[in-house]
Amino acid sequence: MLPKGLKILDLAPGATIQDGGRPGYQRYGVTTGGAMDLPGLVEGQILLDNDRNAAALEFAGLGGRFVSHSRLAIATSGAAMVLKLGGQTQPWRCSHIIEAGQVVEIGQCRWGVYGYLHLQGGIECTPVLGSRSTHIMARLGWTPQCGEVLEPISDLSTDSGLCLPTPEYFEERLIRILPGPQTPLFSEDDISALINSAFSISWSRNRIGARLNCTEHIFAAGMGKSLVSAPTIAGDIQISADGQATVLMADCQPMGGYPRIATIISADFHKFVQLQAGEEFCFAWTTLNKALTAHSELREAMARLPKRRGQLPARQPSLSDLMHHTLISGAVKGDDFEVD
């Protein structure tokens, strides 16, 4: 008997299992990790009424192909990607029922970078340190491969056709930052350039870090050669000895020695990670009180998401659909009496 779930036919590089991560273990040298876009992850959990600790498959720019071994409820969220079920294009940020034998195809991102595929109850795999999140470098969690099966934790219990509106943060290009302990080590020119220059994320990016492009200024980080390693967090903007700015991502190392000129506030981190390579954005200083307020507002917005769920409008049949049905009594499709 085949296991219920989705068999992986093809999977793009960078796809991992992610949930809320492993908070509380950094003092032991284990980074928090977890979904790059936490609000995006929560969207899919809400569409399937999953627990907030439920894990999903996170894609990095490109998806994969899957075939269903059973009737399943799925949902998609995060960056908008091309979705086809049984060859038919379907809307993103919605829940769907798929039948046994149906092929699920997830293509490239139309906007954003990190998209999510959810199963009813979450994806079944063994938790490590209280989380199902994959951390490839640390060899924590399960890294799914072609031929393996993504199994749902719960049986089918959700109606299909629920959807959520596209969030506005995909259009935002202003990322708020806070100063840190090492900000005073930088010159006034460096600090001024940080908020007065246009940046973009380079193609050199992964779940550990994202290098920034800035043609208007080269940062000076000579003091980085003499700094003692210190704790780091996702969102830290570190400057290497060659003046290269890099934003630390969800799977960043728990300790680092490069000086950090600033830190992206937690309420804007998901906005930053969803910027595609080459998209220009700017930094803006904010205060700790405003950052805390923004964090609270984000949590409240996520708590309100269940009330924003709507029913997906019924799909209008296409000409191709109509050609495969007998719509008038006595009519035939034309191939009923074919003889070999």
DSSP class per residue in 8-48: EEEE-TT-EEESS--TT-GGGT------SSHHHHHHHHHHT
* Average pLDDT of the segment spanning 3-8: 91
Return the structure tokens found at 321. Answer: 């659909």
Between CA 248 and CA 238 the distance in angstroms is 7
Cβ partners under 8 Å of residue 320, min gap 6: none
What tokens were used for 172?
């935002």
Over 60: is that where the pLDDT of 338 sits?
no
pLDDT in tens, 177-225: 999 889 998 999 999 999 999 999 999 999 999 999 998 888 886 665 5
Place of tokens 């509380």: 24
Residue 131 DSSP label = B
Quick one: average pLDDT of 118-146? 95
Can you give the pLDDT at residue 160?
72
Written out in words, the top-level CATH class of the domain with range 172-302 is mainly beta
Q: Which residues make up the CATH 2.40.100.10 domain(s) of the chain?
A: 172-302
Q: What is the pLDDT of residues 16-59, one digit of tens each?
A: 999 999 999 998 999 999 999 999 999 999 999 999 999 999 99
pLDDT at 317 over 90: no
* Matching residue, tokens 């191939």: 335
Please state which of the ranges 80-89, 158-167, 261-270 shows the lowest mean pLDDT: 158-167
Helix (H) / strand (E) element for 262: namely strand 260-264
Please name which of 125, 100, 141 lies closest in space to residue 7, comparing C-alpha atoms. 100
Residue 123 banded pLDDT, cuts 50, 70, 90: very high
Residues 319-334: pLDDT tens digits?
444 443 444 444 444 4
